[in-house]
Amino acid sequence: GENVEQHPSTLSVQEGDSAVIKCTYSDSASNYFPWYKQELGKRPQLIIDIRSNVGEKKDQRIAVTLNKTAKHFSLHITETQPEDSAVYFCAASMGRGKTGANNLFFGTGTRLTVIP
């Protein structure tokens, strides 16, 4: 099955700086890559996703890049704010088309702390 690795496990940045979280995946058939933010005691919230037919996607201060050849994708948060502090999870799936293809395989998570 798919194996998703995520780095770093913890990340501290000063407010206003940028944060980058990186993930790699093992199965070249994976074609959908969401990122979830989980605040303490809350459910994972989808913040951005990217499909394999694009290399980059941006939504305000958040961007995701995908390198299919190298099988890695990254989350970039610019102008970080204290409310960005949370655990971030990357995930990968093979999307629709066959049984089990929608299964999400999660990375191990990154605890981001934004220091005011």
Partner 1 sequence: SAVISQKPSRDICQRGTSLTIQCQVDSQVTMMFWYRQQPGQSLTLIATANQGSEATYESGFVIDKFPISRPNLTFSTLTVSNMSPEDSSIYLCSVGSTRETQYFGPGTRLLVL
Q: Does 116 bind partner 1 (CB under 8 A)?
A: no
Check whether the bond before 82 is cis (ω within 30° of 0): no
Of 55, 58, 103, 115, the one binding partner 1 by CB under 8 A: 103
Q: Does 95 bind partner 1 (CB under 8 A)?
A: yes
Q: CA 106, CA 74: separation in Å to the nearest integer?
A: 14
Tell how strand 86-92 and strand 105-106 pair up: antiparallel
Within 36-55, which residues bind partner 1 (CB under 8 A)? 36, 42-46, 49, 51
Q: How many CB atoms lie within 10 A of CB 77?
A: 25
The answer to whether 74 and 22 have CB atoms below 8 angstroms apart is yes
Q: Does 99 bind partner 1 (CB under 8 A)?
A: yes
In this complex, which beta carbon is closest to partner 1, that of residue 63 or of residue 88? 88
CB of 51 to partner 1, least distance (A): 8
